[in-house]
Structure 1
Amino acid sequence: MESKFCILTETEDLKTLISSTEESLQIERTKTLFEEIRASINNNDEEDRSFWRPVLPWGGVYTIRAGRKAISCTPLYVKISLKNTCTIDGFLMILYVILRDNQSFPREVGIFLGRQFVEHFLYLMDSYDYTTVKMLWIWDRMSKRQYRSVIHHAALEIDLFGNEHENFTKNLETMMSTMQESLCTNWSCPARFQEFIQKTINIKCNGLREFSQRVFCHGPPPFVILNMQLWKSEELSYVPYHLALSQHRYSLEGATLFNKEEHHYSAAFQIDGYWMHYDGLRSDNLILLNKPPELLLLSSLVYIRASDK
């Protein structure tokens, strides 16, 4: 049977999603998710103890009202099923920890992702409303060309199968974009002066080029993400824990890992000097690390600007 597709373009649904969630979550809570994780680490005597509740479980189901004009008085609701969400789950977890652990970062990241988005993102994570967090990222952050929802009967299905770059880090390229100038020593060069943004361009002309130091287009970002697909997790000790970028010092804060056999991503990050492993497919999906997870490939590294730590 031929599949039918639809594009999720209804921005009003995003506003409805946020407002309805905030109304349903007006419950008293003593600690945010980040505070609960930090407390579980600091009060933990057993090195292998897992976090007390699941964090960002794989997948998810979100119920949404379908259409504004109902034929009957009873509104129609459909369920949106999320699949293969590991391509965003690990980075959503790392992003949350970074923003909550660095006071000035939410304002800086809000310049690129939007202040309202950052506020809603932190609120939903603090409230443990994980499926709505994923829907927030999908609707508000991702290119409309990236996702087509397959309609199966009355339910929508969003399949995020792919890689982390297409589903997450691609949306942060503006924040991390860099620029470099070059000047050719050959006066007859048709393109003697050039500017390079984001990537290096091979120049085929006579003479030598002198390159300036590469600088960030919008100032040093609060964090940078490096693509590291050829390293193995057991080689994590050989990864530089500090980088000098554009006269700023960056420190390793997190990493994403790829299980080649399961075609599955997970993540590792540190809080108060302790490294934790997050894997949305596991029942205990957030645990303290005694050593790097085995048999996994290192996918990405996340460094934060150390001066703000």
Structure 2
Amino acid sequence: EGGSCGVRCSRRVIDADMDAITVPYGVTVVGTACDVHYFLKQPGKGHCQPERTKTLFEEIRASVTNNSNEDRSFWRPVLPWGGVYTIKAGRKAMACTPLYVRITLKNTCSIDGFLMLLYVILSENENFRRELPSYLGKEFVERFLYLMDSCKFTTVKLLWIWDKMEKCQYKSEIHKASLEIDLFGNEHENFTRNLENLMSTIQETFCSNGRCPARSQEDQRKTIIICPSHDSLLGDVIQAAVDELFCPRTELCEELGCNGQREFTQRIFCHDAPPFVILNMEQWKSEELPYVPYNLAVAKQRYTLEGATLFSKEEHHYSAAFMIDGNWMHYDGLRTENLVFLNKPPELLLLSSLVYIRD
């Protein structure tokens, strides 16, 4: 299956029992049909499906409802940091000599938190599950949900890497029969910018000076980066910053030699209001955030807080917090018990992003 980045996984039949995946940089992984089923077949087909009475999300939701003060974490790790994908070659293909090929993932926290949030958003909202395929692709959404519910967490990450990321966004090295993929970097580079046109916006500007060298301009953006507003130091500073980016305004034209007034029109979404928005909060300091608003207006559309991603500079590590049925949970892939129930909203002192869902 191929993604938008041009990294493709091709299939060829070796014999009745064998399949092969060609992974980036020419490494060929050979394995049984069951091993590679999740990459090569549509969800719901084949013979490798686990039998589950509940989805993973339903299990997490039930745990939130039934948790006690003595047991504040989900019973199993979800999306643990890193990952190892090992495939054993069939006897027929390798002349009766078993061969193991390993794909090792490192520093996956740059996508883990957002993958967790994406799963919660899709699982909680049936309407969003129908809308998001138009942005991310129907096959991707179906496979993503299927793999998460099957607890195939390493495969989920590989799906994102090969379907959504570009080669230049991660490092990969070959060590004998092992492929190592390192995702060390910024989560907005590795995840947010790869959400296709989900949050694409456009704003037109027009200068009052007829001699302005760039009288008419268009500003198009694929992500939403907001900065502290100069006009609002108190109150709802996040709403003020969003308004500064989206609302009409007039400023002095900054073109060289121009003294005109530049009018900015209302910034609008290119493809209607998306099911969710991610606000890049990397420009903010904790002292600039007296509180985080539960409700937010973005381009005249109402949104509600769903979660956040957090960044620790000391560890260079990302984690995430999100709500299920009004209850907060904290996710940290480095922990053994990495999904923890919170008695109160988390302290969002090290914000990397805020995630809001459409009302």
TM-score when normalising by structure 2: 0.75
What is the DSSP-based 3-state SS (H/G/I as helix, E as strand, rest coil) of the residue aligned with 1:98? Answer: helix
Structural mapping, 1:218-229, within 5 Å: 218-229=271-282
Q: Distance in 1 between matches of 2:286 and 2:152?
A: 30
Q: Does the C-alpha gap of structure 1 residues 286 and 71 become closer, same or farther in structure 2, counting only changes over 3 Å?
A: closer
Q: Does the C-alpha gap of structure 1 residues 24 and 283 become closer, same or farther in structure 2, counting only changes over 3 Å?
A: farther
Contact 2:203 2:267 in 1 (8 A): yes
Contact 1:223 1:302 in 2 (8 A): yes
Percent of aligned pairs with the same residue? 68
Matched, 1:169 2:164: no
Q: Does the C-alpha gap of structure 1 residues 233 and 279 become closer, same or farther in structure 2, counting only changes over 3 Å?
A: farther
Name which of 206, 209, 215 aligns with 2:268. Answer: 215
Q: Distance in 1 between matches of 2:47 and 2:322?
A: 30
Higher mean C-alpha displacement, 147-156 vs 117-126? 147-156
Structural mapping, 1:235-274, within 5 Å: 238-274=291-327
Runs of 5+ in structure 2 lacking a partner? 1-5, 12-20, 24-35, 223-244, 246-252
Report how far residue 290 of structure 1 moved.
Answer: 2.5
What is the DSSP-based 3-state SS (H/G/I as helix, E as strand, rest coil) of the residue aligned with 1:270? Answer: strand
Q: Distance in 1 between matches of 2:219 and 2:347?
A: 39
Runs of 5+ in structure 1 lacking a partner? 1-6
Amino acid of the structure 2 residue aligned with 1:78: V
Name which of 32, 39, 56 aligns with 1:18. Answer: 39
State the partner residue of 1:80: 103
1:45-82 per-residue CA deviation (whole Å, 9 max, x = no partner) reads: 3286111111111111112478xx96746574410011
State the partner residue of 2:342: 289
Q: Distance in 2 between matches of 1:188 and 1:296?
A: 47
Q: Distance in 1 between matches of 2:287 and 2:329?
A: 15
State the partner residue of 2:122: 99
The alignment yields a C-alpha RMSD, in angstroms, of 3.0
Name which of 281, 295, 304 aligns with 2:357. Answer: 304
Q: Distance in 2 between matches of 1:263 and 1:213?
A: 37
Contact 2:200 2:270 in 1 (8 A): yes
TM-score when normalising by structure 1: 0.86
State the partner residue of 1:50: 73
Contact 1:89 1:280 in 2 (8 A): yes
Report how far residue 149 of structure 1 moved.
Answer: 1.7
1:174-193 per-residue CA deviation (whole Å, 9 max, x = no partner) reads: 21111111121112223322
Q: Distance in 2 between matches of 1:131 and 1:303?
A: 26
What is the DSSP-based 3-state SS (H/G/I as helix, E as strand, rest coil) of the residue aligned with 1:57? Answer: coil
